[in-house]
Amino acid sequence: MVPLRGVLVIGLAAGLTSALCDGIGLSSGAIAYGAVIAAVVVRPDFSRWPLAIYPVLLLVVGFCMAIGVALGLALASVPQVFVFGLVAALMQFLTLLLPGKLRLLSGVMAVAGVLPLLSSSPSWGDWGQQLLAIALGLASGTALQLAFASAEVPPGESPAQGSAEPPLAERVKAGLQSPFFWRKLVFASLALAIGEGIGAVTPKYLYFGVVLLLNDSIGDTLARVRDRMVGISLGVLMPLLVFNTLGIGPLQTGLVMGGTAALVMALNSANYLRTALISSGVAFVGYGPLVAWYIPHRWIDYLMGCGLALAVGLLLFPTSALRRYRQLEADPAASAQQLQRLLPAAREEARWLGLPLPELERT
């Protein structure tokens, strides 16, 4: 029953946020931001986010988007591919400043910084509207989840306790010494230029592919490629169906987002839910009447981004999670925790190579 309730709340949150944003006169681009955030902030199991996530997320997203707007305006006469690459590189440097508890926001920073540059004319007015829409989405999704939650709500996540974190200077130094950091920075900066060079219709998705998919281990990259492609593929079905039958509007937005969530749940593919919701929201709300044109091009260009991420991972500083797992498995001094951290990436690597999947046997 919880999945069905979660589907209902996701649809209501997206539709309500879309109607609120439209009612106060926000732009279609800002409405897309709000609807997507409202949908992805809802947890199908109705567990609560830590309260600190809301101000931190707004602060990080607002700050990174402000950098994109400021540089976009200051360098308006410079070719966009250069400005895009500059902001992409700057976002990678800023991720080095994140403490361990906020490291999961690295991807958010990389995406938020370039979002204003997706428009041909970034402005502070658009920045304010988009940030307001995000705040409305967070509020709507959270309020509806609380309203529909049962009496016994799972507690929020508590920060993981671990060893003391090294000082900021040491974290930055370690990041600058990592070849994986420079690998991602260089190709994130060049992704848009590569996309334009190979004739991609929506070349920005090569950037998203490199930034969000490329990881230290080829096994991690393979897992992310699979998850993103499955999620995106599931997320384009409902926008096409609803657009071609019911048109566009706040009610239809709720049907698209709720329908996408229902499809993912019906296929027992909850791991792909957020990617599918983002895919649906961007396609249906962000592109509106262009949704039928946009979806095939987005899928193809994101596939190109996946290919670029895989090529970079295989050719530059390749590391094998499966090989490392086998080495630790043969080492009596290795702990079960070390093996557990490597297991998902090692299993993904083995699956793609057609090898027996490793199993965690050590206790």
Contact 46, 154 (CB under 8 A): yes
pLDDT at residue 135, rounded to an integer: 97
pLDDT at residue 253, rounded to an integer: 96
- Separation of alpha carbons 237 and 240, rounded Å: 6
Each residue's pLDDT tens digit, 193-236: 999 998 888 888 788 888 888 887 888 888 888 888 899 999 99
pLDDT at residue 154, rounded to an integer: 56
* CB atoms closer than 10 angstroms to residue 94: 17
pLDDT at residue 152, rounded to an integer: 57
Most confidently modeled of 2-16, 120-134, 143-157?
A: 120-134
Rg (CA), the chain: 21
- Separation of alpha carbons 213 and 184, rounded Å: 10
Each residue's pLDDT tens digit, 52-108: 889 999 999 999 999 999 999 999 999 999 999 999 999 999 999 998 888 888 999
pLDDT at residue 358, rounded to an integer: 87
Q: Which two tokens stand for residue 101?
A: 């508890």
- Tell whether the model's pLDDT for residue 134 goes beyond 60: yes
Burial level of 125, CB count in 10 A (0-12/13-18/19+)? exposed
- Tell whether the model's pLDDT for residue 317 goes beyond 60: yes
pLDDT at residue 363, rounded to an integer: 55
- Separation of alpha carbons 61 and 302, rounded Å: 23
Lowest mean pLDDT among 245-254, 318-327, 331-340: 331-340
- Tell whether the model's pLDDT for residue 153 goes beyond 90: no
* CB atoms closer than 10 angstroms to residue 62: 17
- Tell whether the model's pLDDT for residue 258 goes beyond 70: yes
* CB atoms closer than 10 angstroms to residue 22: 17
pLDDT at residue 157, rounded to an integer: 53
Q: Secondary structure of 261-279 in the HEC alphabet? A: HHHHHHCCCHHHHHHHHHH
pLDDT at residue 125, rounded to an integer: 96
In angstroms, the Cα distances linking 296 to 32, 235, 240, 263 are: 19, 12, 11, 20
